[in-house]
Structure 1
Amino acid sequence: MSNKVIVEDKADRFHQSQEKIQPPYALDPELCLYSPQDNLESLTHPRIADWIAFITERYMPELPQEGRKVLLMLPCTATKPYPFSSEHRAINRRLYDEGFRPIARQPLAQELCARLGPDDPQELMDVSILSDGKGTYIHRAVISEPMALVPYETVTGYEGKPSPSHAYDDPGLFEKRGNAVSPWRADSTAQQVGPGKWIWGANEKRAYVEMHNIMATLLAKVMERIGGLYDARISWVAPGLTHRSFVLEKAARKEHGVTASKLCGTERLAFVGANDLLPPELRITCLPETADCTDAIEQLARRLGTTPDRVGGAWSRGGANATPLALPELLDVLITRIHQLES
């Protein structure tokens, strides 16, 4: 009887995963990664292994010869393809409002574009490099597990193959959600503490640290190849979350509220960030900073006519069922940093 419950739970989760993929794109059933162990195992899946070889060995961006070039790294999202998510739409809309436009025509499927809101410009679904017409170019990419980095222009395909980035679901590294487990796995050590709520055991924690450090290493490997092509490398990732941890060097973790290690049974394992592995001239700038968030919370409170201690829900949801990264108060920080490159 218990085995049947586990199977049904996996089937239910698969159904939830399917709902995250926007037609005409479709979920690959083999790329549903519900735990740290699933993540590690995915690295040998043919689609993921080929992607990692592509991004670390073969990929080269097609950038303008002149001007200021920014690599803007955004977080992956539950909604696929990423640009259709509420978070990416809010970020890209702000870039649009600041005058940034695609330099080429590379839209996502028309079926998807047709589902934009009436006030959304079609350019929000274009994945080519952006230009403000004043010499600044923004090349967008996505920090993603298990793929490390996904340049925007490869969201639908690469080298004549469909991209895995619009065909997967990976909630398996988000421990605090309480369901980042695969209890049907033989190596599961997670313990159920309530309906749909689990806590990680030693195997989940070890697999998490291993996967985390592999992602950081791969991200650094990509930056070693292409990072020098840009005048700035900015990761616009939510404070305290896994994507920021992939980037930050050891000395910066405490300041950003990101833990430096995890206790796995009786052993404490250290996290490695991409910046630990990169020379200073290739390191990634993590935004927003802690002070930026404090200022943004105060501004949000004034906008909502309340006090900073009472904006929790509006802050965490980003005003668009997203994260704080989508808030105009924080996006001001990103735009300011981009404009500073022009001075």
Structure 2
Amino acid sequence: MRQTFLLSLSLLLSAATAQAQVDSVRASTLPPDQQAERLYNSGVAKFNQKSYRAALLDFDKALTARPDFAKAYYNRAAVRYELKEYQPAVQDYNQALRLDPNTFTPYFGRAQAEEALQQTEEAERDYGKAAELKPDYAPAWYYRGALRFERADYTGAKADFDAALKADAAYAYAWHDRASTQRQLNNLPAAIQDYSQALKLQPELLPALLNRAATRRRAGDLKGALQDYNDYLTRKQDNALAYTNRGAARYEQGNYKAAVEDFSKAVELDAGYAFAWNNRAAAYLKLEDYKKAEADAGKAISLNKEYAEAYLNRGHAREMLRLPDAACQDWRKAAELGLEVGLTHAANSGCGAE
């Protein structure tokens, strides 16, 4: 969620009574400052109509008439941001701040442009400056928190999301992202509460439902997790990850047939989803359908040659299919890829040295 702001400025011009003949032309005699303000207001109106190129021309003309017009620099920067001209936008924000360094909005806007340019350190600093100048502006705290979350500073991110919610307790995205931060900090009950609050404020925020399900599953509440997955999939049936996660919860519950159904739906939606193929292989192993388990694990391996768990599962299937040499080869490969339990299985099954 990105927010672009324009600084509005009203201008009232008195209309002179028309006295000229219909065939005469009268040149504008507005002073430069008033001409700049008229063009500025026209630019704002065009921006609000999403006529960005036309707005840009108006702000260009306004700045030609009045080169020290800080708000025009700011608003031209906002237009350039919408046009994805991020570096020129930063330059205009720089000019706006040179002329008016005590306004929070250019710092916030410049941070957004810097973030688009992947200048995350600069963006974090500018979001912080915007928050310092206007502590009750929740998005400044929120976006800095998001940047801190991305670089795994979860303590700092939580502090920022706390501040965002202090400024705006109805900020559903801040509740959601604080929940994800709590989850990273292993505060699972608090994370579940925050996801629930996000959903209370914005019931259509489906990622919160999916993330609450995953958190409940991690906390051992499989019943609650399955309820959330069911609610999510009732409303959105095109998400392979959701089917895979519900399948994993069903697998943990011991409902292997239902797990296979979910993993099958996941690979139907995304045939390149190696994780779902391997998970279905694991479920088939539980159902003692070893041919299908071998085929699914093999498919996962074809998609990801470094998938240690898939080699392990294919080894188990091949062992049960009376293919000991092939099973040993798979277990050794799993161990080579870092899954040392593969060596244990190889040793327990009497695999000799290669």
TM-score category by the smaller chain? under 0.3
* Structure whose alpha-carbon radius of gyration is higher: 2
TM-score by length of 1: 0.22
Structure having the higher strand fraction is 1
TM-score by length of 2: 0.21
